[in-house]
Copies of this chain bind each other. A is one copy, B any other.
Amino acid sequence: MTKPATIRDVARRAGVSSATASRALNNSPLVNHDTKRRIVAVAEELAFAPSLSARRLSLGKTQTITVVVSFLTRPQAAERLRGIDAALADSEFDLNIYNVETVEKRDQYFRTLPLRQRTDGLLVVSLPPPGHNLSRLERSDVPIVFIDALENTANLPRVLGDDVAGGELATQHLLDLGHRRIGYVGDAFDNPFGFTSSRDRFDGFERALASAGIEVGEQDVALGAHGRYEARDLAARMLSHPDRPTAIFASSDTQALGVLAAAQDLGLHVPVDLSVIGYDDIEACDFVGLTTVRQHLFESGRQGADLLMAEIAERSATPQAVVLQPSIIQRRTTAPRKEVPHQD
């Protein structure tokens, strides 16, 4: 209806200047206790709310943190976002969100978002920047923190899970159960976004096997597009071979669920005939009983946001890299290898 009250309205009504009103409302010590009370009362009465734009312009800060996240709907992303929100909830910062599901959007956002005129800080979640942007981002005048991206390639602050260690952990879990032939089902290493988790987890996989003296057979590695159905088909091919692995490590829970479906189609009993382990620990794992590798999703969001706020407060010379260690969550899809007549 009517124009909202400005600070000058408050000042006039309280019989002071706008400067004093501003000071009073910002808890400056430079104002008398009684006049402050009066001003606060008037502000209340007029339902005064400061214009954020004016405030920001005047302060030269946006008081805004921008989050760029890939595939918002993936359970991992939502959980990380929650961590970020939790860290920011009681701060002065507003949270701006941009979702990326195409390479075009990614490039657009990396071009237009990291600007002091737009935001005080940028949080990039699960989205490696294109290589040609790296040096520009490193020199950016707005602080940028990466979550779940950007291994050791760049000199930028980041918090990430140790995918290699996670892959090793998963594989070691299967080795400990006596498995010797272990398959890997994961995302193709090459993808338009440059996601590296599948490759890294595979590296961990290989490393664990290597230190157990096992070489990875080519027929035990199946890579394809991300998705449950794709994984089911890959696994079906791998498992229908008579000489098949006794366990499979899938590079994500989604894909592990596909592997389970394939096993069921082929009449293989999990975990008796086949052990399956996934990665991420999404909610579905719990009701399917899927053994998996848990990442600290919420924590990664929270710590990323904290790191960013620290950078905003004072830019650090040497960017910090926080690494969160994954852990095994054992459920009902992994078991000791079935005894077979001929031993090796």
Please list the residues of chain A having a beta carbon within 8 angstroms of any beta carbon in chain B.
1, 4, 49-54, 56-57, 62, 72-73, 75, 77-79, 81-82, 85, 89, 94-99, 105, 112, 115-118, 141, 228, 257, 260-261, 283-284, 286-288
- A95 adjacent to B94 (CB under 8 Å): no
Per the bound structure, the CA–CA distance linking A286 and B227 in Å amounts to 12
Q: How far is the CB of A332 from chain B (nearest CB, A)?
A: 12
Q: Which chain B residues border A72 with CB–CB below 8 Å?
A: 78, 81-82, 85
- Whether A1 contacts B141 in the complex (CB less than 8 A), given A62-B52, A73-B82, A95-B97, comes out as yes
Per the bound structure, the CA–CA distance linking A94 and B119 in Å amounts to 11
Q: Which chain B residues border A117 with CB–CB below 8 Å?
A: 4, 49-53
CB-defined A-B contacts under 8 Å, sample of 17: A4-B116, A4-B117, A4-B141, A49-B115, A73-B75, A73-B78, A81-B97, A85-B98, A94-B96, A95-B96, A96-B96, A96-B97, A97-B97, A228-B286, A257-B287, A284-B284, A284-B287
- Whether A53 contacts B56 in the complex (CB less than 8 A), given A4-B115, A97-B85, comes out as yes
Per the bound structure, the CA–CA distance linking A81 and B261 in Å amounts to 30
- Whether A57 contacts B49 in the complex (CB less than 8 A), given A4-B116, A283-B284, comes out as no
Q: Which chain B residues border A98 with CB–CB below 8 Å?
A: 85, 95
- Whether A89 contacts B105 in the complex (CB less than 8 A), given A52-B62, A75-B73, comes out as yes
Per the bound structure, the CA–CA distance linking A112 and B283 in Å amounts to 33
Q: How far is the CB of A61 from chain B (nearest CB, A)?
A: 9
- Whether A118 contacts B82 in the complex (CB less than 8 A), given A54-B57, A96-B95, comes out as no
- A99 adjacent to B73 (CB under 8 Å): no
Q: Which chain B residues border A97 with CB–CB below 8 Å?
A: 81, 85, 95-97
